[in-house]
Structure 1
Amino acid sequence: MAQLYFYYSAMNAGKSTSLLQNAHNYKERGLAPVLFTAAIDERYGKGRIASRIGLASDAELFDDSTDFVAWVQAHGGRASIHCILIDEAQFLTVAQVNQLAAVVDDLNVPVVCYGLRTDFMGELFPGSARLLAIADKLSELKAICHCGRKATMTARLSGDGKVQQSGEQVVIGNNDVYVSLCRAHHRAALAGDHAAAKPARIIKE
């Protein structure tokens, strides 16, 4: 039976790499996965999923108006689609996560979502919260803080490199905007210790 999966992490944990590898595995076996990415994210071009290690693929776009049940039905259902792979799943609405559950339960198409669990303030994204609540399988992908501990949080940097302590939940950016931190350094950064978001300078003898 099909299942709903949610792979979550902080930034720079290889979510897109894992998604693209998963898609390759399906195609290698003669199966047809469909990739989706958020229309709001154009860092690598519109309708493009790319990883930091150079893998990339075209993808369908979703926004708040996308109805996943209707889309799958209109494109042949289980007979034509063997898996749905969703990048940037934190941008899904709660209603869309419920739709994806219906794609799994009613149309028997597996759905694998990859996304951030929390925003730069450590608050759950609504889509991620719903996935954590109803996904059949949850898996954390590991990112590393500059101190060497597991990074579970993501901090947002302003133009001068300081950690932002307020602002809109959704701002698109790469490593120049976001940094992955362990909880301790994230707490310190939000408390005003901007150095907590940066690795200590290594002095070579």
Structure 2
Amino acid sequence: MAKLYFRYGAMNSGKSTALLQAAYNYEERGQHVLLAKPAIDTKGAEQITSRLGVTRDVDFLIRPGDDVRSLFAEHRSRLHRAEVDTLIPDHGGMSIDVACLLIDEAQFLTREQVDDLLRIVVLDAVPVLAYGIRTDFRTQAFPGSRRLLELAHTLEELKTICRCGRKAIFNARLVGGRFVFDGDQVAIDELSADRVTYESMCAECYLRESGGRLG
């Protein structure tokens, strides 16, 4: 049975690397995958970019008002048409199809778009692997992440460590090298004139920097 997976972790926990590895694993076995990410993630433009330097183009971008199931159906049909156009011979009696949909930066999806992911899994029988972070720099859940925590069949944590060596669970924001705890929920790292960056932190280090403040 197809499932909706949410694989989450603090920043720098290797989420994009894990996604690209999962895509490679499918394709190494002769299966086809589709890759997508929210358009709001302007870092990497139309690519999924791993901090290890590995990149790959997405098959489609998801904009805030998009119907993800319709986008998926469109690109799934394109794959079927490509099979016909290239006159690919019989594959052991099986037609080419999408084996998995992989979503990067899933925290930026809307609640309705996460609902679409569940429909793809249940109604279209295609597994969906969604990768993202749970909370923003104020320790508040992103809408997409909250809905994934509510709906996903399987939750998997990808771990990374804080500068002190403990497990990191929060994502602290720095502007010009200084920690900030107010501002818009979304600010893509390293694209701002003030150089917005992030640091993965454990709860103890986060509270120390924030003066005990949460949210």
TM-score, normalised via structure 2 length: 0.84
Partner Cα separation in structure 2 for residue 176 and residue 146 of structure 1: 19
Q: Is the 8 A contact 1:42 1:48 kept in 2?
A: no
Q: Tell me the CA shift for residue 94 of structure 1.
A: 0.3
C-alpha distance in 1 between matches for 2:142 and 2:76 = 31
2:72 paired with 1:72: yes
Provide the C-alpha distance between the structure 1 equivalents of 2:62 and 2:72, rounded to a whole number of angstroms. Answer: 13
Deviation at 1:178, TM superposition (A): 0.3
Q: Give the secondary-structure state (helix, strand or coil) at the position aligned to 1:144.
A: coil
1:105-161 residue CA offsets vs partner (Å, 9 max, x unmatched)? 0000100000010000000001000001110000010011000000000000011x2
> Within 1, Cα distance between the matches of 2:72 and 2:37?
15
Aligned to 1:181: 201
Whole-Å Cα distance in 1 between the matches of residues 154 and 131 of structure 2? 12
Residue type at the aligned position of 2:184:
E
The question of whether the paired residues in 2 share the 8 Å contact of 1:155 and 1:163 is answered with yes
The equivalent of 2:56 in structure 1 is 57
> How far apart, in 2, do the equivalents of 1:57 and 1:164 lie?
32
Task: Give the letter for the 1:52 counterpart.
Answer: R
- Equivalent positions of 1:164-179 (< 5 A) are 164-173=180-189, 177-179=197-199
Measured after TM superposition, the shift of residue 176 of structure 1 is: 5.8
* Larger deviation, residues 119-128 vs 60-69: 60-69
Identify the match of residue 86 of structure 1 among 91, 97, 103: 103
Q: Is the 8 A contact 2:187 2:196 kept in 1?
A: no
- For 1:134, which of 128, 133, 151 is the aligned residue? 151
Deviates more, 1:60-69 or 1:135-144: 60-69
Distance in 1 (alpha carbons) for counterparts of 2:75 and 2:42? 25
Long gaps (5+) in structure 1: 194-205
- CA RMSD in angstroms comes to 1.8
Note if contact 2:188-2:196 (Cα within 8 Å) is conserved in structure 1.
no
CA distance in 1, matches of 2:130, 2:165: 27
Q: Structure 2, unaligned stretches of length 5 or more?
A: 81-95
3-state SS of 2:187 partner: coil
Of 166, 178, 193, the residue aligned with 1:162 is 178
Runs of 4+ in 1 over 2 A off after TM superposition: 72-80
What secondary structure, in the 3-state scheme, does the structure 2 residue paired with 1:74 have?
Answer: helix
Return 118-127 or 70-79, whichever deviates more.
Answer: 70-79
Task: Measure, in 2, the Cα distance between the counterparts of 1:152 and 1:35.
Answer: 26
Identity %: 47
